[in-house]
Amino acid sequence: MLKCQLTGTFARSPELIRATRDYDRRRLKENDLERIREDDVKNIIKSQEDFQYIIDGGFLWQDILRPFTFVEGIDAGPLTRFFRTNTFYRKPIIKGDVKFKSEFINKFFYLHLLPERSKVILPGPVSFVGLSYDKYCKDTLFMISRALNRISKHLEEEKVACIQFSEPYISLTEKRDFNLWKKAYKILTENIEIDTLIHLPWGNFSNLLGILKFPVKSIGIDFIETSIEKIDFKTDKRLGIGCIDAQNSLIEDTEDLRKFLNGLVDKLSLEDFFICPNCDLEFLPYPIAIKKIKIMREISDNL
């Protein structure tokens, strides 16, 4: 098994992009679009067949928060730019107690296609609230953490092996309250036995060391933004080394990456780690994203 994981939505193939456009223009039936989308899912699953954990590509997610705009207590707000990308998300409006049956999340994953080492990606509670318009204004962060905990327990029952909580807001906000966030993650991970991963795209981890105390089993770090010279810590958590640049079409030099990884592993005395993209590969053209996976495999095969 290779020490590799993907950490976000994958790039769509030209065929799926074309099919989606044809469907939007009523030139293609829904079942034909679904057939093409499932082909993409099967291809991305096959490309990860020897990875630690395997994702379905996130092709049913229009954005990281969209599925939750369909539950009671949350409305879909305006389209809003997603941080520093050229993509947009539908801003959730949290207006009351969030209520739903946890099974609703199944329709946003291809669980029936995923093998035993499956990983699913959910928004972390801090980013969920930070990216929303909070009209509830009570214990919103803890309420969302409890809701995500219920979903996580359900996914554990569905035999998912790992749940990743993506937290771009933690990386980019200037107002950080690690003690409050740690309490939220204690609620989120309560009675969850499977692997839990917090992923921090676009963040300089030297400013985020408080995350090391969070009750998760793995932490994904963006080493495109983080300088190896400016960090020095010890941890018994599994570290995701985000050294594959998912926002740059330049293909990494394998020898340079090996030197970097060996230096980082030695400096931090890492025993349990994996390599990964620093953020979602959806920001790249499909052929480039596929090449990035091949680079990951080639590097990991020699670690």
pLDDT of residue 191: 97
Q: Which two tokens stand for residue 145?
A: 């953490």
DSSP string, 279-299: S-GGGS-HHHHHHHHHHHHHH
Task: Note down pLDDT in tens along the chain; length 303 residues.
Answer: 899 999 999 999 999 999 999 999 999 999 999 999 999 999 999 999 999 999 999 999 999 999 999 999 999 999 999 987 888 999 999 999 999 999 999 999 999 999 999 999 999 999 999 999 999 888 999 999 999 999 999 999 999 999 999 999 999 998 999 999 999 999 999 999 999 999 999 999 999 999 999 999 999 999 999 999 999 999 999 999 999 999 999 999 999 999 999 999 999 999 899 999 999 999 999 999 999 999 999 998 877
3-state secondary structure of 134: strand
- Element spanning 75, H or E: strand 72-81
Are residues 136 and 91 in contact, defined by beta-carbon separation less than 8 angstroms? Answer: no
Rounded to 5°, the CA angle 82-222-238 comes to 125
The domains of the chain are located at 14-300
Encode 176-200: b = buried (16+ Cβ within 10 Å), e = exposed: eeeeebeebbebbbeebebbbbbbb
Give domain 14-300's CATH architecture.
Alpha-Beta Barrel (3.20)
